Chains A and B, each alone.
Chain A
Amino acid sequence: GNSVTQMEGPVTLSEEAFLTINCTYTATGYPSLFWYVQYPGEGLQLLLKATKADDKGSNKGFEATYRKETTSFHLEKGSVQVSDSAVYFCALSARGPMNSGYSTLTFGKGTMLLVSP
């Protein structure tokens, strides 16, 4: 079955520090990969995505590259801000049966990021 493993948190950083959150996956076929972010008391927001090997997703200074050879999709940001404090979920999307019209997301356990001034 599909699975996603991401580093345990919390990750505690000072403002302007470099961020890496590791994510590796196991999947059959060729899944799409996502990073979602959840701010306190809110739903999930898509942060970035990559749909095939070597694709780089980027948004708001965050980046992640789909590495098929290492089955990884690590999240990075060069300089974090206090406002980046949130829980980050790595996820993969697998299509349902042919013509089913849906796909299913498999999430990692989430990594809480705490950024202090």
Chain B
Amino acid sequence: DTEVTQTPKHLVMGMTNKKSLKCEQHMGHRAMYWYKQKAKKPPELMFVYSYEKLSINESVPSRFSPECPNSSLLNLHLHALQPEDSALYLCASSQEGREQGEAFFGQGTRLTVV
């Protein structure tokens, strides 16, 4: 199983809503990542979790709140977002010592904030 599964695939939310994005992998990877991708741009790193601890927060606004409940799951809680937060949110996982830093990506959640 080399899949990273993200749900939902599409999400429309209002600026006062609270929603969560979910990501799951069963490859035994101990590093998981959230990226944000705007149209016609490369992915931008938001957060890195390693061994279920937050290792990197790329100065992301607090309206984005990551959570890693266990080694297979990664959530991104969303609250009071702005229209400019509309983007494709990608989850990825990797394992040091194997695959030489190769990251496996999910299909993404396309988020629209209205």
CB-CB under 8 A from A105, the residues of chain B are 43, 45, 101, 103
Query: In this complex, what residue of B is CB-closest to A99?
Result: B96
Query: In this complex, what residue of B is CB-closest to A101?
Result: B50
Query: In this complex, what residue of B is CB-closest to A45?
Result: B105
Tell me if A69 counts as interface (CB < 8 A to partner B): no
Tell me if A96 counts as interface (CB < 8 A to partner B): yes
Residue among B45, B90, B100 having the largest count of chain A Cβ atoms under 10 Å: B100
Given the known A-B contacts A109-B42, A110-B40, are A104 and B105 also in contact in the complex, defined by CB atoms under 8 Å? Answer: no
B48 and A102 contact, CB distance less than 8 A: yes
Query: In this complex, what residue of B is CB-closest to A109?
Result: B42
B103 and A95 contact, CB distance less than 8 A: no
CB-CB under 8 A from B25, the residues of chain A are none
CB-CB under 8 A from A70, the residues of chain B are none
CB-CB under 8 A from B43, the residues of chain A are 44, 105, 107
Quote the shortest CB–CB distance from A116 to chain B (angstroms).
Answer: 20
Partner of A51, one of B40, B90, B94, B100: B100
Tell me if B55 counts as interface (CB < 8 A to partner A): yes
Number of interface residues of A (CB under 8 A): 27
CB-CB under 8 A from A89, the residues of chain B are 42
Given the known A-B contacts A89-B42, A107-B42, are A43 and B107 also in contact in the complex, defined by CB atoms under 8 Å? Answer: yes
CB-CB under 8 A from A34, the residues of chain B are 102
Spell out B's residues near A (CB within 8 Å). 6, 30-31, 33, 40-43, 45, 48, 50-51, 55-56, 88, 90, 92, 94, 96, 100-108, 110
- For the A-B complex with A45-B105, A104-B56 known, give 15 more contacts whose Cβ atoms are closer than 8 Å: A32-B101, A34-B102, A42-B107, A42-B108, A43-B6, A43-B90, A43-B108, A44-B43, A44-B105, A46-B102, A46-B104, A96-B50, A105-B45, A109-B42, A110-B41
